[in-house]
Chain A
Amino acid sequence: MATSLVNSAHPPGPTYLAFARDGSRVYTGGSDTIVRIWNTNEGTTQEPDSAGEAKEGVTCLAAGHDCWFSGSNDSEVRRYAHASPQQDGLVTNAAGVAIRSLAVDPQGSRIAVTSDETTVKVIELADITNVVLLKGHTKAVRRATWHPSGSLLATCGADGRIVIWDISEGEGKEAKTIEGVIPAVANTESDEFAYDCSVVWHPSGQHFFVATRTHEIISISRNDWSKSSTFSNEDVSGTITALALSPNGVYIASATKSGVFIWSTQTRRLLYRFQDISSPPIQLAFSPSQNLLAWTDLEGAYTRWQDPIPATAPHPIKPSTASSSAGVQKKRARTPTLFDTEADKEFARKDAGGDVDLDEDLGADLDNDDWILDDLGGGMDDDAEDKRTKEGIKEMVSVTKAQPAFQPSSTPLENKKRYLAYNMIGVIEVTDQDTHHIVNVEFHDKSARKSYHFTDHFKYDIASLGERGAAYACQPENEHSAHVTYKPYGTWATQGEWTYELPKGTRVLGVAAGGPPPTKSLREKSDADMQGNGNVVIATSTGELIFLTGTGIERCILSLQGDFVTMVASPEWVFIVTRDGATTMDGSQNLTGRLIQFDDFCVLQKDALPVPKRHTVKWIGVTEEGAPAIYDSAGILNVMPRFRLPFAATWTRALDTNVLDRREGKQESYWPVGVAGETLMCLILKGRQEHPTFPRPLIQELPLKLPFHRQDPKEAPLEEHLAREGMLLDILRDSLGDQLTTDDISRRELALDKELIQLIQNACKNDRLARALDLTKLLHHTASFDMAIKVAGFYHLIGLQEKIEALKDDREETDRLADAREKRRQRARDLTVIPAPRTVFAAVPRQKAFQDFKPPPAKHRPGLERATPVVDTNRNAPRAQPQAMSSQFSEDTAAYGTSFDDSVNDYSFSSPDGKRKRAEEMQPVRDYPSPGMDNASKRRAVDEPVPLVKAGASAGRANPFARKTGTDNNRNPFARSTDVNKALQKSESFFSKVDAAETDKGKRPPAGKAKANTKEKEKKSAGRQTTLFGLPANPQAEKKSVGKKKKASESQVDSQQTEPTDDSETQTMDVTMIESQSVDDEDSQPLADEPAMDALQTEINQDADTENAGSPEPIEWPPSPTHENNTVEVVVG
């Protein structure tokens, strides 16, 4: 503990002190009417000068630039020269009552005098007749304090009120009265009255500290005059008798009857204490020049605590970057430049760091190389020379400050509250509770997601609110390393939340959570939404870009190309902004934006961001249509509508907020939240506000308006709208894929055509025929051409009419939509994956023994001519299949990695049962080793944990190769395709591969034709049988089934004509070893054979049904005809 020097300066009684502005002297005054002038550098043995003009006890002291003042009970305010005991004169006096407080403004030009009168005097020191009277208090005014700017004066009255006066315009105006904070003290003789109740302004001027009647220190924000933070510690109790702030605003000292305490203004933690005191200090002061805290108490003692702040901690005098005070002071000192706002932000961000240890914070600041100091100073001369050498080109050399990393739509901590995210999905609000944070998440659409809140002990400072979950990231602090927590919204899976720890020392710079928008409400505890939990991307300080799925699977770690700035995720990609290299000398931030796809981690777009020089990116986001958008500090919104064209998209100006009509004559700025359709959703900030504050402002809608410059009142708006709508249409058209058009698109096109016709009409009216023709070319629908022809006819423009007709003919020749699709395909082809070069072998290498893992070649069997196993092609075929046939699902798939293809496709075919499917997935493996007689029944027993139909159980013993009677009429035709896919894709065992291959081959001739002839069927079924019986089989069964089949095929001839479709269905649906014919048979003419067979049949139906419902059993389901066609194509081609 540092040393303290105590002088009993005055006899017991309230004693006051003031530091000279240079810190070399301390003035103390007490009840003995004498003011002593102490040299701060000398010890306790010094003999101070004294000034004894006062006739009664000195009650207050104040120091100006070159003078000091004393006020006393004799109602006089005296003026003295600096460090001198010689009185200069009287300043003012009160009407026979005691002077209570003096305060010289920071400029040293005015002095505020309070007394037991209810008015406060503000006196011009140069002309003491110039007095401003402030009336508002109802009792004596105990203390007065100047705001650092000198424009506000805060006075504390014995009536318990703090009044803030605005004295910027000559006379004083009551700006705010705060009641109930400081105690009301009636007795002027009591000790309480002598206590220092003054407000202490932070050097930033943004807030002040005051000791409350509840014995706390609170800070009150200047913005809304509300309490923003509290300093408390269980060791500190009792009335606070004095307060003082260190000159740089980093520390605040408080005094109670038990001691003197020093707190950090940032962390609000108690740092140091001095408890060896005899009497409560009633005035505390930090030295303006030294690491020294001095106080005077009720016993007349003058105490100096030397070096209260250890050398290891930030100095109380030197402006520290860690303190917002320093930041703001610096700002005030500098000439305002464009980059001030940024600097503020940066400092504010540092502030927002909240409880980071001071030391750490300082360290971070020193580390921060991005901050090139702009003190060119002496360097300018050299620059000038340089300029001359450059052929006299005059250019201002300014070093551009790099924009720090930020999270879109987040705000710094202000008044203990901040937004971590505020986007089109919802809001994450954080309230700082000193020891922890309260995170409150609210969604705009309360029907889709459930709002929640939680207590956060890690102090998450980065968050991203995605469609399917929110990701929170915290920075490393003492014991724990940085981590990212992802909380999905869906409730069906209880263990959705996960945490991803980063290695020690790594900081998180940004997170982004993206995912496809929910198809239904995520509030309901329904079946799994098959789209998963989206994707999470994390950017770290070690230059990593980590991709995880929404379930926490680490998928990829890319390297960041430069300094990370910000990122945002869409369902398909992450839009990441980096600074590749340094900022340029001429003020450009040199930012590059990349779109990196989630499914293959490939770059979709890479382009420099169109941020004007000397401006920064303020916000990035994704429009409702899925296009990336950016908003910069110049107030321009850019979107990239053609982002689906790899490496070809351009940034388009969608809105220039500087030319908005509503902005005329108003000082406001816009804080984007999202872009939806034709509107920019934003929060409107009044004045010079930088961020939205609390309570949450309403989202305003600004219509997008391309900044076209033509002013024609009639045509310009139409043209603008045309272009804007065209932009939206482009986004929609690009996402079409193999589709030709959608209803929505054609409707929009039609609406556009109507506008075009209007423009054409206008052009015709004004005889601008070339323009009319140009507009005609833009028409979408051929029907609209007729309208254009009519318009031309109306104006008797025969030539134009003919030309339009020619255009129409031209348009009719080509199919616009098909052409567009061809173009899309062409683009896709241009960007196909380049295959690896093929190695050419001179001779076919002989296969070594035991290294051939291929299945043994199929033996030639008479019934099996076509069943040559081609395992490889077969493996490929099913993969190609779903993509070829289900273009509508390609979008879904695109959002996922190729490794996910299977599952996604499965889900999209029959999503409600996906869960179940999975459960059964394991089981087929068990079946294969026992392909014997009752294979089917065995499997059934395994597959049906819950016997769906009792009959099934009873039929268990029936011969599975007996003719089964499956009436499959009521089957869902779509379900089958699921089975087919599944059967083909999921076949992991060798047998199933062979089976699949064989059935595939065997099925080729019928090729899905409903009217396959009996013979072929026979063959096919024979083939299928052998497939099974190629494995160790029961010859008897084979025989039997063949026999049955013959009978079946006979009977089928007539049934086929009547129910061809049915036939084809059953054919493909056919179960394990049973021929389709038998099923058909059953359809047309029900057999009353054995009752067991009936039972079996029902069972089979059940079996099939359950499988329809999504069982992925890789059994011998032959593919449906259409599928097979595809397969064949793929295999051949």
Chain B
Amino acid sequence: MALPPPLRTSVTPAELELIACEQLVDIIPLVAMERTAFISGAYGPLRPPAKCKVPIWMATNLKLKKKCHIVPPDWLNVDFLQDRLTRETSQPEFSELPFRFAEVAKVILDVASDDISNPEKVRSLLQDIREARQAKSRDGVSKLDHSELSLPNLCAMEINEIRPFFVRSMGVLTQLVRQPDPGRMDQME
């Protein structure tokens, strides 16, 4: 896998995507279907043109067969993301975004970009947001503390990104900050 070595220990983005695919999304079906039981639950019935909530994996599956339109979640549009981006760049803390926004947005943009208005803009906004947040989490390294880490509104993908490094460095910090035992000082060094 082409991930940098520190990332290899944690969950891969693809796996996160898989997890995120359990989330529900609105679709406008183009085919009729009775309520159907799946392992994760029963979904449907699909009655065009009424909307229906189904998991993303099912939505993508239907979409690829041209059997539905995906209704993008209310945060996946230019206005909302623009607003978040300005907040992200103007305020120090992470702005509030759905926990798995990166994964959901990627999946929907990949399979259903025709259902989103102005997908290119959305894509670039998401990229900007991601970069802005990445910068913040890098800044966070300097404030890293051995005992506690509080990064509200951090998203799944970002947590995943920083996890290996942060966990390790916090471990190191804990060791460093621990009340040094005079007897063992030499050994540690």
Contact = CB atoms under 8 A, between A and B. Distances in A.
Contact of A446 (B30, B47, B50, B51): B30
B69 interface: yes
* From A443, A679, A698, residue with most partner B Cβ within 10 Å: A698
A447 interface: yes
A445 B50 contact: no
A945 B115 CA distance: 56
A699 interface: yes
Given A446-B67, A698-B69, A681 B50 contact: yes
B30 A698 contact: no
A424 interface: yes
A445 B32 contact: yes
Nearest to A674: B49
B32 A701 contact: no
A699 B67 contact: no
A676 interface: yes
Contacts of B71: 698
A701 B50 contact: yes
Interface string A494-532: 000000000000000000000000000000000000000
A444 interface: yes
A424 B32 CA distance: 13
A399 interface: no
A446 B31 contact: yes
Contacts of B32: 445, 447-448
B48 interface: yes
Contacts of A698: 28, 69, 71
Given A698-B28, A699-B28, A444 B67 contact: no
A681 B49 contact: yes
A424 B50 CA distance: 9
Nearest to B71: A698
A446 B31 CA distance: 5
Given A446-B30, A446-B31, A447-B31, A701 B48 contact: no
Interface in A430-470: 443-448
A679 B47 CA distance: 13
Contacts of B48: 443-446
Interface in B127-169: none
Interface string B50-77: 1100000000000000010101000000
Contact of B50 (A443, A447, A448, A676): A676
Interface string B7-39: 000000000000000000000111110000000
Contacts of A673: 49
A424 B47 CA distance: 10
Interface in A659-689: 673, 676, 679, 681
Given A446-B67, A698-B69, A698-B71, A676 B31 contact: no
Contacts of B51: 701
Contacts of B28: 444, 698-699
Given A446-B67, A698-B69, A698-B71, A676 B47 contact: yes
A681 B28 CA distance: 12
B46 to A, nearest CB: 9
Contacts of B29: 445
Nearest to B30: A446
A444 to B, nearest CB: 4
A48 to B, nearest CB: 58
A418 B69 CA distance: 23
B30 A445 contact: yes
Contacts of A446: 30-31, 48, 67
A445 B28 CA distance: 10
Contacts of A676: 47, 50
A444 B69 contact: no
Nearest to B67: A446
Nearest to B46: A445
A698 B114 CA distance: 13
Contacts of B30: 444-447
Contacts of B47: 445, 676
Nearest to B28: A698
A443 B69 CA distance: 13
A736 B69 CA distance: 36
A424 B67 contact: no
Contacts of B50: 676, 679, 681, 701
A181 B102 CA distance: 41
A678 to B, nearest CB: 11
* From B31, B47, B49, residue with most partner A Cβ within 10 Å: B49
Nearest to B33: A447
Nearest to A427: B49
B47 to A, nearest CB: 7
Contacts of A699: 28, 49
A699 B49 CA distance: 7
A670 to B, nearest CB: 15
A424 B28 CA distance: 13
Nearest to B69: A698
Contacts of B49: 424, 444-445, 673, 681, 699
Contacts of A447: 30-32, 67
A468 to B, nearest CB: 16
Nearest to A700: B51
A446 B47 CA distance: 11
* From B28, B51, B69, residue with most partner A Cβ within 10 Å: B51
Contacts of A681: 49-50
A530 B165 CA distance: 69
* From A424, A444, A681, residue with most partner B Cβ within 10 Å: A444
Contacts of B67: 446-447
Contacts of A701: 50-51
A699 B32 CA distance: 16
Contacts of A445: 29-32, 47-49
B12 to A, nearest CB: 35
Nearest to A448: B32
Nearest to A447: B31
Interface in A669-725: 673, 676, 679, 681, 698-699, 701
A701 B26 CA distance: 12
Interface in A256-291: none
Interface string A743-780: 00000000000000000000000000000000000000
Interface in A184-239: none
A679 B71 CA distance: 17
A418 B68 CA distance: 24
A699 B69 CA distance: 11
Interface in B82-127: none
B115 to A, nearest CB: 9
A676 B50 CA distance: 8
Nearest to A442: B30
Interface in A532-583: none
B69 to A, nearest CB: 7
A444 B50 CA distance: 9
A673 B31 CA distance: 18
A679 to B, nearest CB: 7
A679 B30 CA distance: 18
Contacts of A443: 48
B37 to A, nearest CB: 18
Nearest to B115: A698
A692 to B, nearest CB: 14
28 contacts: A424-B49, A443-B48, A444-B28, A444-B30, A444-B49, A445-B31, A445-B32, A445-B47, A445-B48, A446-B30, A446-B48, A446-B67, A447-B30, A447-B31, A447-B67, A448-B32, A673-B49, A676-B47, A676-B50, A679-B50, A681-B49, A681-B50, A698-B28, A698-B69, A698-B71, A699-B28, A701-B50, A701-B51
The 4 closest A-B pairs by CB, nearest first: A444-B48, A444-B49, A447-B31, A445-B48
Interface of A: 424, 443-448, 673, 676, 679, 681, 698-699, 701
Given A445-B31, A447-B31, 9 more contacts: A444-B28, A444-B48, A445-B30, A445-B47, A445-B48, A446-B31, A447-B32, A681-B49, A698-B28
Interface of B: 28-32, 47-51, 67, 69, 71
